[in-house]
Amino acid sequence: MGRLDKASEGLLLFTNDSEWAAQVTDPARHLEKTYHVQIGTKADTRLIEAVERGVEIETGEVLGVKRANILRMGQKNSWLELVLDEGKNRQIRRMLDSRRVEVLRLVRVAIGPVQLGALGKGAHRLLSPPEKQLLDRALQLNSISGSND
């Protein structure tokens, strides 16, 4: 459930429970998805503030993130942590592209409280019962807080 474009990698959840999948992927639930993004430039506070505030792309749509921070910087590139609570098609790539920032690598590292951890490319494992409970609790909390908005 959920999707990653072919140039992205990271955590995906698989289930045969279509009702539960619909809850996890429902944008109205605002379940956070965390991404680590390598960009082809040195990040600065202006970039972080811009993506948190929201960036208008060429279609006129404004795309932003819930939270952003710089994880680490090299001499020519940086790694960012970006948290979305609703995902639009290629949101991170389109948002950064509008700022003329090249995305070198994009990895989803968490869906709600479930972390990718050290799981390698192409590897899989079952969710533990505590992870499933944490996801269910996050969905329930987001459902309650969303109804008060």
Residue-by-residue pLDDT tens, the chain, 149 positions: 777 888 899 999 999 999 988 888 888 888 899 999 999 999 999 999 999 999 998 889 999 999 999 999 999 999 999 999 887 888 999 999 999 999 999 999 999 999 999 988 889 999 999 999 999 998 888 766 554 44
Name which of 11, 25, 29, 38 is nearest 122 in CA terms: 11
C-alpha 138/C-alpha 76 separation (Å) is: 37
Active site residue 85: no
- Residue in the structure block whose two tokens are 């959840």: 13
Sequence-ordered list of residues with C-beta below 8 angstroms from that of 92, at least 6 positions apart, any chain: 35, 37, 65, 82, 84, 103, 106
Q: For residue 149, what pLDDT is reported?
A: 45
**Strand residues in the chain grouped as ranges (E):** 9-10, 33-39, 55-56, 62-63, 67-73, 78-84, 103-111, 114-115
Q: For residue 96, what pLDDT is reported?
A: 95
C-alpha 46/C-alpha 57 separation (Å) is: 17
Instruction: Give CATH superfamily name and number for 9-147.
Output: Pseudouridine synthase (3.30.2350.10)
Q: For residue 29, what pLDDT is reported?
A: 84
Domain ranges of the chain: 9-147
The structure's pTM equals 0.90
- Between helices 18-25 and 129-147, what is the axis angle to 10°? 60
Q: For residue 71, what pLDDT is reported?
A: 97
